[in-house]
Copies of this chain bind each other. A is one copy, B any other.
Amino acid sequence: MDTTTLQIDTGEQFRIIDITERVAEWLRGRGDGLCNLLAQHATAGLGLMETGSGSEHDAQEALRRLLPRDDDIYTHRHGSRGHGGDHVVPLLVSPSLTLPVVGGRPVLGTWQSIVFVDPNVDNPTRQVHASFVADGQPGGR
């Protein structure tokens, strides 16, 4: 199985980062199968959304409303303010994302981009494990 680890520079603020090109570049030439992406962190997620039109900001605000960054409401408290809520993010925005790959290209809709969702302000660098599983019946049926 082909695998790699993508290093994502997320900086020290809540960031939603488009990683579509990074993933597409890695998949180039790999044929048909499934690509699994796994954000290897307990305070991050992966998603598919439109980028570049303001929805990254809207999504951040929505997550802040849904999981308030008020430390008092969380049992798990350490690090920066809101870190307790950051640990709940992966339940709502899963760190595991699987995409179909056809002819070495990830299948996506016109307005879909792959994003790394990182509310955590304490870790400026993050890792995404990428794996490509080839179809076991390459000739199709």
**A residues bordering B, Cβ < 8 Å?**
1-3, 30, 32-34, 36, 38-42, 45, 47-50, 53-55, 57-59, 61-63, 66-67, 73-77, 84-85, 87-88, 90-100, 102, 107-112, 117, 127, 129, 131, 133-138, 140-141
Other-chain residue from B42, B54, B88, B100 in contact with A76 (beta carbon distance below 8 A):
B54
Contact yes or no, A1 B74, CB < 8 A: no
A33-B133, A61-B73 known; 18 new pairs, CB 8 Å cut-off, are A1-B32, A3-B102, A36-B99, A38-B108, A40-B107, A45-B91, A47-B94, A53-B76, A53-B87, A54-B77, A55-B75, A62-B91, A96-B99, A98-B98, A107-B131, A133-B133, A133-B135, A134-B136
Task: Determine the residue in chain B with the shortest Cβ distance to A98.
Answer: B98
Contact yes or no, A62 B88, CB < 8 A: yes
Shortest Cβ gap from A106 to chain B (Å): 10
Across-interface contacts of A85 in B (CB, < 8 A): 58, 62
Shortest Cβ gap from A14 to chain B (Å): 13
